[in-house]
Amino acid sequence: MGESPVRSGKPRGNLPPLELYVPEPKYRPGDKVDYSELDIPEPGELARPDEACAASETWPLTTDMIRVLGDDDKAVGPWNPNLDPESLRRMLRNMALTRAFDDRMYRGQRQGKTSFYMKCTGEEAISVACALALAGDDMVFPSYRQQGILISRGYPLVDMINQIYSNRADRLKGRQLPIMYSARDYGFFTISGNLATQFPQAVGWAMASAIKGDTRIATSFIGEGSSAEGDFHAAMTFAAVYNAPVVLNVVNNQWAISSFSGFAGAERTTFAARAAGYGIAGLRVDGNDALAVYAAMEWAANRARGNLGPTLIEHFTYRAEGHSTSDDPSAYRSAHEREEWPLGDPIMRLRNHLIAIGEWSEDRHADMDRELAEEVKAATKEAEKNGILGHGLHHPFHTMFEDVFEELPWHLDEQAEQAIRERQMKWPEWKE
């Protein structure tokens, strides 16, 4: 009999042993940072294809980068959305309000008023500009750094803070982790801690909208790390096959907690380039350029609304802060990364653009920042009347068992009575 094809595991003498490649970030704590290898095109260089073009016409844009704001703070090129000054000021204000809100909530977590918070510092242009480019009733399936969408749509800051504090006025009754908002009336689907689930949900919602003959589209956001999940590929397949009216956004902020973007495939090609593999339109945009983000979302939304199919957008940006209040980024990345990031700060870039066109000033910006800080402070004080973490001012204990069944089953009713009785015995001073 011949030798079995299954070998003992010893390498053949005439072949080199196989080696597993494990991606490594270029910079670690204390390293000097050099971003010169990044290919960042000049603003205004890329053509803007017609929204009704074949998907393949967009594929060169997936490995390049759409930019509008130049080093001279002027807006140039065919992707310039030509927004009027009032719209630009509104965009700037919403971005600054989002940052002011983040700063206040971060301090609140450090003061023990809530257990957890996640900032979107450096990524404000993505949520705010996208919100303004969409119709107010388009459905958003967000990740956990899209608080700027809620703020741009006018969701009350007090209600956001109530949710963060899980107090007695929390609309979600303390059932969600802080910052995982849900606002159906504002077209804002429940944020999930299970990453990437929102991508197939958005595609399914968009398909349902098409089946009903509605005019609303869907959009969804995930981080680049989440694009390595199977849900990403399931969503892309369904979106492509059924021509779903959806815009799928990958926010490439370079880091997924302590894992850099290479673990999601960034070393091989761009995330936007995956659009070509599914035969759909794709765009890659400077995520710190609010005008470029607006233009890309407007283009993709118009395409979806015209029954021309889905678009995948990669927003190239940088997560300036830690992943969350539970994270210390200095343990795994160089502090110089934020300082050296070549695409700058999105708020400062839009501010400088408005100043350059004579529609803003540094004094007006400083006044606005003070006003927004006071607005967030007032909202915080109002929310704190409903309670903060650990004081007992929560929804009635029985609500833990509600809102799942139309009529509470007998065994859960018994469990609720037992839980309330034991709670009253242990803490008699706490009243329902």
Neighbours of 67 (CB within 10 A): 25
pLDDT at residue 76 above 70?
yes
The Cα-based distances of 190 to 98, 176, 198, 394 in angstroms read 19, 9, 9, 21
Distances, alpha carbon 356 to alpha carbons 70, 126, 290, in Å: 11, 22, 15
As a whole number, the mean pLDDT across the chain is 95
pTM for the complete prediction?
0.94
* DSSP, residue by residue, 392-404: S--S-GGGGG-SS
Q: pLDDT at position 2, please? A: 58
Per residue in 78-121, pLDDT (tens digit) is 999 999 999 999 999 999 999 999 999 999 999 999 999 999 99
The pLDDT value recorded for residue 394 is 82
Of 120, 108, 123, 220, nearest in space to 166 by CA: 108
Confidence band (pLDDT; 50, 70, 90) for 8? low
Percent of the chain with pLDDT over 70: 97
> Is pLDDT above 70 for 431?
no
At a CB cut-off of 8 Å and minimum separation 6, what does 303 contact? 51, 52, 281, 309, 311
Is residue 427 predicted with pLDDT exceeding 70? Answer: yes
Rounded Cα distance, 167 and 29, in Å: 39
Listed in sequence order, the residues at least 6 apart from 6 whose beta carbon sits closer than 8 Å to its beta carbon are none
User: Per residue in 254-289, pLDDT tens?
Assistant: 999 999 999 999 999 999 999 999 999 999 999 999
Decide if 342 contacts 35 (C-beta within 8 A): yes
pLDDT digits (tens, 9 = 90+) for 306-357: 999 999 999 999 999 999 999 999 999 999 999 999 999 999 999 999 999 9
Q: For 51-70, write each residue's pLDDT tens digit.
A: 999 999 999 999 999 999 99
pLDDT digit string (tens) for 247-263?
Answer: 999 999 999 999 999 99
296: closest CA among 207, 206, 219, 243? Answer: 219
Give dist(CA 208, CA 271) in Å, integer: 27
Of 140, 149, 147, 169, give the one whose Cα is nearest residue 102: 147
> What would the pLDDT profile of 16-36 be if each residue is shown by its tens digit?
999 999 999 999 999 999 999
User: Which pLDDT score, from 0 to 100, does residue 206 have?
Assistant: 98
Helix (H) or strand (E) holding 280: none
For helices 85-110 and 124-133, what crossing angle results, to 10°? 130
88 backbone dihedrals φ, ψ, rounded to 5°: -65, -40
Contact 129, 294 (CB under 8 A): yes
Torsion 189-192-196-197 (CA) sign: negative
pLDDT band at 14 (very low <50, low <70, confident <90, very high): confident
Neighbours of 369 (CB within 10 A): 15
Give the β-pairing of 218-223 and 139-141: parallel
Are β-strands 255-256 and 259-260 bridged in parallel, bridged antiparallel, or unpaired?
antiparallel
Q: Which residues touch 37 (CB under 8 Å, ≥6 apart)?
A: none
